Amino acid sequence: MKIAILSQKASLYSTRRLKEAGEQRGHQMKVIDYLRCYMNIASHRPTVVYQQKPLEDFDAIIPRIGASKTFYGTAVVRQFEMMGVFTANESQAISRSRDKLRCLQLLAREGIGLPVTGFANSTKDIEGLIEIVGGAPLVIKLLEGTQGIGVVLAETTQAAKSVIEAFRGLDANILVQEFIKEAEGADIRCFVVGDKVVASMKRQGEPGEFRSNLHRGGTAEKIKLTPEERSTAVRAAKTMGLKVAGVDILRSNHGPVVIEVNSSPGLEGIEAASNVDVASKIIEFIEKNSAPKKTRDRIQS
Ligand code: ADP
């Protein structure tokens, strides 16, 4: 097969691993910087042009769209979909998962475990918002944040009020969440491919840090999931319409709760911690599912 990896940089670990795994399985792999693609969208024959040449004969694409490039990246993915090219994740599913609030609303609709979460536009409603999540301590998150940046633990109601006011004063969208203290600074990343969790790891924040992000100095190790955690992760990915997803779960007193579903989960941490060749799992999935014209999003919102 001829497979394109849509990525800004061929040297990124995940991109390199996907290319390597595909080549090992006998495929022709090409890394394409989606920001350098341009498109004829009004034609009867939709095309994507890269380095002055139309990209015509690809069987499948693997989108690795950066969080800050969602708008253009998903437009390129959509164009490939219109050309009938199979995509590991569909454009709609990527856009959907990039909106944290929309993501949580859809997961709630499916009855998937979530931390109690509140959202409001006006700072006049702060008290009510704090009440919804059961008061301090609570977690405040910038809707546009990634890698733990913009995730704040407010230990007292007064601190919570100040932080919410400050964020809202900057016109930032935030959500307020119940603090899952019993997670003890750890979360679980479940790597879902198709309808299976193919690898998982537990990430633990530095001592005194409630955020477990590896970018914030957290460490990762292999973990055995409970059947409930496994099914929660698979259901969460399915709800978002993602076929390749990183589902982040906290172990709470009321069972596993999902905090995030990521459409371009990194391979470096998970492959090292779990010892699973995740890149090959993704390629195998594409081999099994990429019959022409199979791309179709079935989620209603
Ligand atoms: P980001 O997308 O920026 O990584 P997350 O929502 O994943 O933001 O939060 C970052 C980290 O903070 C998580 O990995 C987790 O360890 C911790 N965390 C997030 N939400 C909660 C919560 N409600 N209770 C306890 N810890 C949390």
Interval 123-179: pLDDT, tens: 778 889 999 999 999 999 988 777 778 899 999 999 999 999 898 888 888 899 999
From 117, 259, 262, the mutation candidate for ligand 1 (largest count of ligand atoms within 8 A of CB) is: 259
CATH number of 2-89: 3.40.50.20
Write out pLDDT tens, residues 68-85: 999 999 999 999 999 999
Q: How far is the CA of 81 from the centre of ligand 1 (A)?
A: 33
The mean pLDDT value for 278-288 works out to: 98
The mean pLDDT value for 54-68 works out to: 95
Write out pLDDT tens, residues 175-216: 999 999 999 999 999 999 999 999 999 999 999 899 988 888
CATH superfamily of 117-179: ATP-grasp fold, A domain (3.30.1490.20)
All CATH 3.30.1490.20 domain ranges in the chain, comma separated: 117-179
pLDDT on residue 138: 96
- Ligand 1, atom 14: closest residue by C-alpha: 212
Task: Tell whether the model's pLDDT for residue 114 goes beyond 90.
Answer: yes
Residue 262 CA: which ligand 1 atom is closest? 2
User: pLDDT category, 293, cuts 50, 70, 90?
Assistant: low
The mean pLDDT value for 50-73 works out to: 95
Q: How far is the CA of 34 from the centre of ligand 1 (A)?
A: 29
Mean pLDDT across the chain: 93
pLDDT on residue 299: 52
- Ligand 1, atom 10: closest residue by C-alpha: 148
Q: How far is the CA of 138 from the centre of ligand 1 (A)?
A: 11
To the question of domain 97-112+183-288 being in CATH 3.30.470.20, the answer is yes
Q: How far is the CA of 243 from the centre of ligand 1 (A)?
A: 23
Q: How far is the CA of 208 from the centre of ligand 1 (A)?
A: 14
CB of residue 21 inside a 6 A radius of ligand 1: no
Task: Tell whether the model's pLDDT for residue 297 goes beyond 60.
Answer: no
Task: Tell whether the model's pLDDT for residue 110 goes beyond 60.
Answer: yes
pLDDT on residue 143: 83
- Say if strands 86-87 and 60-63 run parallel, antiparallel, or are unpaired: parallel
pLDDT on residue 291: 77
CB of residue 246 inside a 6 A radius of ligand 1: no
From 213, 219, 253, 261, the mutation candidate for ligand 1 (largest count of ligand atoms within 8 A of CB) is: 213
